[in-house]
């Protein structure tokens, strides 16, 4: 699947780079335009939209309150982002003769504002989370610098009236306000308890002859019906949390973000059966770890959240 995504990005990037041959017909120019199309247009666009999945699944996963929902709320800025990317593409790939149209200069300006804003927001809300989450901030950081460099160059060539920067910035405020209001609305709709849609729980929704048997247990001080795979992994996670709380916390941060996204794709008993079987090696390792820890651990009641 990842290979297909790379191929898709490569084909689209090559298509976007082809107009550069009208400026200079050379392999070097085409190669630079290809890299610019991929890392200056496609990757930022994908990160902007896919980062919406960083929105927590419940209120307890929002340490900063409704601001943590701006990962999705910022999609209200999509028109501004698209305008900025078009301006960036025209400047980098098409290279029009100066002076550059004012709308393109302002597009570079707003692109830099959005990129810098997203970087600062991510640095504030994702601080302390896993390195895999923080590495996403590289994209808005380098785009903010890239936009800034091109804006300075475009400003020197076109010399637009400085008042236009304020006018266009004020014109973008409704999109920012809309994003904040949308974030508050998203937060208000989040459940107060973690949703039961994680991967192992979803996998237990397969055909009972395969994923069973099911037994009664207690989870979060409430009676639950769970299969042996789910119980084994609950006990293993409790053990992990006791023995290595720091690494367990990092795992939960990542799993709480990605787990619900994956679980939503397990939308039929047949898919649940496949995932259940794929998790069997993990279940066996968990059972072995639980067995080896029994002399030191007497409480086997599952308390962890899956």
Confidence (pTM): 0.65
Write the DSSP string, 148-194: HHHHHHHHHHH---THHHHHHHHHHHHHHHHHHHHHHHHHHHS-SS-
Number of neighbouring beta carbons within 10 Å of residue 277: 13
Q: What is the pLDDT of residue 305?
A: 45
Neighbour-count burial of 8, counting CB atoms closer than 10 A to its CB (0-12 exposed, 13-18 middle, 19+ buried) = exposed
CA torsion sign for 184, 188, 194, 198 is negative
Is residue 222 within 8 A of residue 193, CB to CB? The reply is: no
Q: What is the pLDDT of residue 130?
A: 53
Alpha-carbon span 277 to 300, nearest angstrom = 24
Q: What is the pLDDT of residue 297?
A: 44
- Determine the distance from the C-alpha atom of residue 114 to the mean position of all C-alpha atoms in its chain, rounded to a whole number: 17
Is residue 169 within 8 A of residue 113, CB to CB? The reply is: yes
Q: What is the pLDDT of residue 125?
A: 84
Q: What is the pLDDT of residue 209?
A: 81
15: closest CA among 28, 33, 29, 1?
33
Q: What is the pLDDT of residue 219?
A: 61
pLDDT 10s per residue in the chain (306 long)? 456 677 888 899 899 989 888 878 888 889 999 999 999 999 999 999 888 877 877 787 788 889 989 998 999 999 999 999 999 999 999 888 878 889 999 999 999 999 999 999 988 887 665 556 677 789 999 999 999 999 999 998 888 889 999 999 999 999 999 999 999 998 888 777 665 446 777 777 788 888 888 888 776 566 778 888 888 888 888 888 788 877 777 777 677 767 776 776 777 888 888 888 888 888 888 888 888 877 654 454 544 444
Q: What is the pLDDT of residue 44?
A: 94
Alpha-carbon span 125 to 290, nearest angstrom = 35
């Amino acid at each position: 699947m990842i290979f297909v995504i790379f191929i898709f990005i490569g084909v689209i990037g090559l298509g976007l780079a082809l107009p550069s041959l009208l400026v200079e017909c050379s392999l070097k120019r085409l190669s630079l335009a290809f890299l610019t199309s991929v890392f200056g247009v496609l990757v930022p666009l994908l990160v902007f939209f896919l980062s919406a999945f960083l929105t927590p699944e419940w209120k307890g996963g929002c340490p900063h309150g409704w601001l943590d929902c701006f990962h999705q709320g910022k999609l209200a800025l999509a028109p501004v982002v698209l305008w900025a990317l078009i301006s960036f593409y025209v400047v980098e790939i098409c290279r029009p003769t100066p002076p550059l149209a004012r709308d393109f200069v302002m597009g570079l300006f707003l692109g830099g504002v959005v990129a810098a804003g997203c970087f600062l927001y991510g640095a504030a809300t994702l601080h302390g989370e896993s390195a895999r989450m923080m590495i996403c901030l590289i994209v808005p950081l380098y785009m903010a610098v890239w936009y800034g460099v091109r804006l300075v160059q475009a400003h020197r060539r076109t010399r637009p009236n400085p008042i236009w920067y304020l006018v266009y910035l004020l014109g973008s405020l409704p999109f920012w306000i809309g994003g904040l209001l949308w974030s508050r609305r998203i937060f208000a709709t989040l459940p107060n308890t973690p949703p039961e849609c994680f991967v192992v729980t979803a996998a237990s929704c397969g055909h009972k002859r395969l994923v069973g048997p099911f037994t009664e247990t207690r989870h979060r001080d409430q009676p639950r019906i769970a299969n042996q795979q789910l119980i084994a992994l609950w006990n293993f996670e409790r053990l992990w949390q006791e023995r290595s709380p720091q690494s367990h916390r990092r795992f939960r941060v990542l799993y709480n973000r990605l787990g619900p996204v994956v679980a939503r794709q397990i939308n039929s008993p047949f898919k649940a059966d496949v995932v259940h079987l794929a998790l069997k090696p993990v279940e066996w390792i968990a059972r072995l770890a639980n067995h080896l820890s029994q002399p030191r651990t007497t409480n086997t009641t599952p308390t962890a959240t899956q």
